[in-house]
A and B are shown apart, each in its own frame.
Chain A
Amino acid sequence: MFKPLTQKSWAGIGAALALALVLPLITRDPYVMHVMVLVMIFAIFASAWNLVTGFGGLKTFGHHAFFGLGAYGSALLALNLGLSPWITLWLGGLIAAAAGLLIGTPILRIRSMPHVAIVTLGFAEIVRICIANFSGLTRGEMGLWGIPQFEGFTLPGIGKVTFSPADKVSFYYLALALLVLMMVVIVRLMRSKTGLAMLAMRDGEDAAESLGVNLTRMKLMVFGLSAFIVGVAGAFYAHYLLILTPASAVGVDLMISIIAMVLVGGLGTFAGPLVGALVLTVLIELMRDLENYRLLGYGLLIVLIVMFLPRGLVTLRERLFPRPQE
């Protein structure tokens, strides 16, 4: 992870980014654009979960709470206070980050992984039930609709950019910009000294602490940052789909999909969550007719990957063609 990027990996990153940038020039089909926007929302979510779980070593199972808080927080602020979604997008992230710090505090004292899993799952359930029960504000299970859309603006040289359900291309570029921004933040963080300290914490808490890593600050930082990123993804989701229900925004199904994506792609790698989000989302769309088997497939994938390819698809090449030992 701390090796300098080779020319090959730079070329790979450049090619992926170039492909993502020119895709709308090849096809403006709303369906393709819609699927790709979902891929990028999930990719942001998956990368943030991977930051806590894969790099930080805090195995949480309740990150959908932050997605829902970001989504509902941003939508309600925009609806009730009349703030622009461009502002509430970040406020949604901050709400999620505050919740992340709140739930990160009890986790600080726990070293046992099962306890962390239980606390985070329980917290997400609390958030879901609260959103469903405060129906005066959130309209509960009826669904929150009428969420304001992003305002359009004029970009010099390109012309007017509008955000409407009919034209998904602008959403596509906005999602891409968010994804690139979040990936730059995560990669910069992980390749810094802080990232090294975080990996040390993951691999041996006591050893890391004895070498001067401030575990409290590190855990709160990674939890808050990850919650912030997931919250922004949730807020974008709210202003993109324009309708929210407790099940769709805070359902445990969402978390299961994200876990499946990260495990399939490769836990604890940069590219894993992105690959996983792309592969699973596209695979699911291709198998639309088999909707009833979707979750069954996710479950099977999780079990098979955990048992037979524990480090994910991105390590498949090394597994198939191991490099000769030097």
Chain B
Amino acid sequence: MNLAIFIEQILNGLITGSMYALIGSGIALVYGTMKVLNLAHGEFYMLGGYFTWYLAVSLGINPAIAIPAAVAIAFCLGMLIQKLTVEYLILRDNWAFTTIAATMGLSIILQNAALLVFGANFNTVPSYVSGVMVLGDIRISWQRVLIFVVALATIGFMTWLLKYTRLGWSIRATSQDRDAAQVVGIPVKRVYMICFGLAAALGALAAAMLAPINAINPWSGMPVLLKGFVVVVLGGLGSFPGAIIGGLLLGVVEAVGVQLTSSEWRDVISFTLMIAVIWWRPWGLFGKK
């Protein structure tokens, strides 16, 4: 195998992995604060893709405005859905199961609503930037470079948000101990709502950036959700930095795995990796027991 092509595949894997990281970190954020496994997370990705497509292609708005708008809509939608369903369920007995079942139901509703509204077609968005970056023998399209830059910027922003803002302190306090956080005056319910919204926004952003490469259809969410699960299992469920590293790692492992086998086996490789990790280190590759 040609070394340049191999390096190119690894770099592409890292770029795909950066998007997995955004998706996984949304799942980790919701699980970390609420201990809720959100099976509707893939649908935020799918809807984010549709919002971007609708604003940028159907209405012809400049992507620089359309993408933030799509992300903002997803943020509000995430908060609304949390307010209407999860907020009540987590107060009841047996919430660990009922929240999984309810978000599974939500995911089916959103999928089929998208099918009725947008149809079953595959919708693509033209590349935001054109051309190919050439570094010696390595060629990577600028679109992919842009994806990576946006992912890094988002991760930086989220890290700043969680570490240095009052909101971030509230989120981290709530995830450590809900009752104690409430005692010191943190509005736990509002924190939950904002976390759900942030997770939805992260998923939607990933979809918006990937839309020129991966066409969007009503069933785009499910495979993305499963990839997100692999990411959070690798990094330790509920850990934000774990999800970032897990995402990048998964991207590279998949790129190498596909080189060794073929692209049909990509998902089998990642799910097998995930089950193996759960078997040997259920707390994640980097987490503590």
Contacts and interface: CB of A to CB of B under 8 A. Distances in A.
Interface residues on B, range: 35 or more
A12 interface: no
Interface string B237-265: 10000000000000000000000000011
Interface string A85-119: 00000000000000000010110011011110111
B97 A303 contact: no
B28 to A, nearest CB: 11
A155 B282 CA distance: 55
B243 to A, nearest CB: 14
Interface stretch (B107-115, B122-130, B156-164, B209-217): B107-115
Contact of A299 (B94, B100, B106): B106
Contact of B282 (A115, A130, A299, A306): A115
Contact of B230 (A122, A129, A252, A296): A122
B105 A302 contact: yes
Contacts of B88: 307
A110 B233 CA distance: 12
B107 A299 contact: yes
Interface string B57-82: 00000000000000000000000000
A292 interface: yes
Nearest to B274: A122
A303 B274 contact: no
Interface in A187-237: none
Contacts of A248: none
Nearest to B225: A121
B108 A59 contact: no
B101 A259 contact: yes
Given A114-B37, A118-B229, A252-B222, A307 B85 contact: yes
Given A109-B279, A114-B237, A59 B97 contact: yes
Contact of A117 (B98, B100, B113): B100
A258 to B, nearest CB: 12
A260 B37 CA distance: 18
Contacts of B237: 112, 114-115
B238 to A, nearest CB: 9
A190 to B, nearest CB: 19
A307 B91 CA distance: 11
B37 A133 contact: no
Contacts of B272: 126
B169 interface: no
Contact of B31 (A61, A114, A260, A300): A114
A306 B229 contact: no
B146 interface: no
B38 to A, nearest CB: 10
A123 interface: yes
Interface centre among B35, B94, B271, by most chain A C-beta atoms within 10 angstroms, is B271
Given A114-B31, A263-B101, A296 B271 contact: no
A173 interface: no
A302 B113 CA distance: 15
Contacts of B145: none
Nearest to B222: A252
B140 interface: no
Interface string B257-289: 000000011011001101100110010000000
A303 B109 contact: yes
Interface centre among A113, A117, A122, by most chain B C-beta atoms within 10 angstroms, is A122
Contact residues of A: prevailing secondary structure: helix
Nearest to B116: A292
B282 A133 contact: no
B96 interface: yes
B278 A115 contact: yes
A252 B107 CA distance: 12
B71 to A, nearest CB: 25
A143 interface: no
B95 to A, nearest CB: 10
B152 interface: no
B89 interface: yes
Interface in B184-235: 222, 226, 229-230, 233
Contacts of A300: 105, 109
Interface in A276-319: 292-293, 295-296, 298-303, 306-307, 310
A256 interface: yes
A61 B103 CA distance: 13
Interface string A114-146: 110111011101100110010000000000000
B247 to A, nearest CB: 16
| The 9 A-B residue pairs with the shortest CB-CB distance in the complex, in nearest-first order | A302-B105, A299-B108, A299-B109, A114-B37, A296-B112, A303-B105, A122-B271, A106-B279, A306-B102
30 contacts: A61-B100, A106-B275, A106-B279, A109-B279, A110-B278, A112-B237, A114-B96, A114-B100, A115-B237, A117-B100, A118-B278, A121-B229, A122-B230, A123-B271, A125-B271, A126-B271, A126-B275, A129-B264, A129-B265, A256-B104, A259-B101, A295-B108, A300-B105, A302-B101, A302-B104, A303-B106, A306-B89, A306-B98, A306-B102, A307-B88
Interface of B: 31, 35, 37, 85, 88-89, 92, 94, 96-98, 100-102, 104-109, 111-113, 115-116, 222, 226, 229-230, 233, 237, 264-265, 267-268, 271-272, 274-275, 278-279, 282
